[in-house]
Amino acid sequence: MMKRTVSPSFIRSMASASCFYSSNKVLLPSVINFSRSGTEFKLQFIPNYRLPGSRPIVTDTAHVLEQVGRKALTCQPSDSVCQQKDSKDFHDRQALPFTVKPKEKGTKPARVLSTKDYIRAYVALTKPNLTFLVMLSSISTYALTPNSAGIAELVFLSIGTMLCSGAANAINMGREPNYDKMMVRTSARPVVRGIVSPKEAFTFAGITGTIGTAILYFGVNPTVAGLGFLNIVLYSWIYTSLKRKSILNTWVGAIVGAIPPLMGWAVSSSLADPGAWCLAALLYAWQFPHFNSLSHNIRSEYKRAGYVMTAFENPKLNARVALRYSFLMFPICFGLAYFNVTDPYFVLDSSLLNGWMSYWTFKFWLQQASNYSRKTLAAGGASQAAVELANGYARKAFWCSVWHLPGILVLAMLHKKGQWDRFFS
């Protein structure tokens, strides 16, 4: 005799089975006899019990029913089901063209990271592409200064600028892993993936920032070192903090982009020269068509991560600002020629690139103005085709800006004042 405590729902299901076999006059291998005491049900197997008027059944069938009944009470599959499953798994493995090994129990240990992996992670902390662009903007303006400087200053400027930029980027990543993981564009960053902890990122930033500032101070001059340190503070603390509070973060970020040209100019010339501020204004204005067009197509990611961006806070303003600063490039380039940084022909050549970027930002603004006009909003909003059209114009404006800046800087160096005098004198 075997006694178990089971739920009332199970009793009802077994009673239904007994009624079925009783109506068909089949001999059950055992019958469940149960009684209730309080809230407990006690079940009892009575082997070889014959219902009145039932007929005998074959032994194999009785064995199967016996197994089903007993396995049901212990919440296990019957022997026949287990045998069929094992046989099926065996034949499935035999049919495969390779050997199948049972999966080991337990969690598979994580892959041990090599030294090369850690080096890559720390390089990624510096945002190498952005850091390289910052360095290029500083050495380009260094090349445009009217006063010459030595190769040593150029080397120290390049290394120091890269280290300061890398430090600012590392602090930025160390502060934002919980938000970066919500965006596809930033989800693979080393702090998000756990390869580098925020504390390690801050330590790395402290070391690189200190070395970079020291190189600029002793290898170039205190003015350049002060600008490098100021950029670390602006980007990693003020700009990063504003990203979740106000759309003004874009304007602060543009100031960060305008400082490297001042660093390059200050290597051998005075910051009182108007040419230095024209170059800084060029980099400042370029940030808006570049970033505003970029943020437009990933505005939903910024919103999901909690960043306050003009692209979704005020889409019309976002496109209008991009267009406004694209037009501002024309007088800035004229100023470079006017203050004798470049020759007059630079105005003509640069107008081609400025016109190219202005064309796509104008198309972007025009479509956004239509999509968010009062008439369109009153009709229920822009159509999907109109939205896709604006997205396409934003992408073209972004890629145009990627090529625009290096093109303008190369043209400025080619048209540097007095650059070709020695060849024609």
- Span 102-125, average pLDDT: 72
Does the structure show a pLDDT above 90 at 91?
no
Per-residue confidence (pLDDT) for residue 146, from 0 to 100 = 87
Contact 170, 234 (CB under 8 A): no
Per-residue confidence (pLDDT) for residue 276, from 0 to 100 = 95
pLDDT tens-digit series, residues 309-357: 999 999 999 999 999 999 999 999 999 999 999 999 999 999 999 999 9
Least confident of 34-38, 159-163, 213-217: 34-38
Per-residue confidence (pLDDT) for residue 254, from 0 to 100 = 96
Does the structure show a pLDDT above 90 at 406?
yes
How many C-beta neighbours within 10 Å does residue 384 have?
Answer: 8
Does the structure show a pLDDT above 80 at 80?
no
Tell me the pLDDT of the chain averaged across its residues.
82
Cut 0.85: pTM above it: no
Per-residue confidence (pLDDT) for residue 111, from 0 to 100 = 59
When pLDDT is cut at 50, 70 and 90, the band that residue 87 belongs to is: low
Per-residue confidence (pLDDT) for residue 192, from 0 to 100 = 94
For 245-379, where are the alpha helices, taking DSSP H only? 249-265, 274-297, 299-305, 310-313, 315-338, 345-371, 374-378
When pLDDT is cut at 50, 70 and 90, the band that residue 413 belongs to is: very high
When pLDDT is cut at 50, 70 and 90, the band that residue 147 belongs to is: confident
Does the structure show a pLDDT above 70 at 239?
yes
Higher pLDDT, 81 or 332: 332
When pLDDT is cut at 50, 70 and 90, the band that residue 149 belongs to is: confident
User: Cα–Cα distance between 118 and 336 in angstroms, integer?
Assistant: 44
- Span 213-240, average pLDDT: 96
User: Cα–Cα distance between 168 and 152 in angstroms, integer?
Assistant: 24
- Span 13-17, average pLDDT: 54
Per-residue confidence (pLDDT) for residue 259, from 0 to 100 = 96
Fold of the 115-267 domain: Tetracycline Repressor; domain 2 (1.10.357)
Q: Where are the domains of the chain?
A: 8-93, 115-267, 273-425
Does the structure show a pLDDT above 50 at 95?
no
Give the angle 238-239-245 at the CA atoms, nearest 5°.
90
pLDDT tens-digit series, residues 18-71: 554 444 444 444 444 545 555 444 545 455 555 555 555 444 555 555 555 555
Lookup: tokens for 261: 């040209």
Does the structure show a pLDDT above 70 at 2?
no
User: Cα–Cα distance between 125 and 387 in angstroms, integer?
Assistant: 35
- Span 150-179, average pLDDT: 95
Contact 212, 164 (CB under 8 A): yes
Does the structure show a pLDDT above 60 at 104?
no
Give me the sign of the Cα torsion angle 4, 6, 8, 11: negative
Per-residue confidence (pLDDT) for residue 418, from 0 to 100 = 83
CATH class of 273-425: mainly alpha
Does the structure show a pLDDT above 90 at 105?
no
User: Cα–Cα distance between 270 and 340 in angstroms, integer?
Assistant: 15
- Cα 210 to the center of its chain, rounded Å: 28
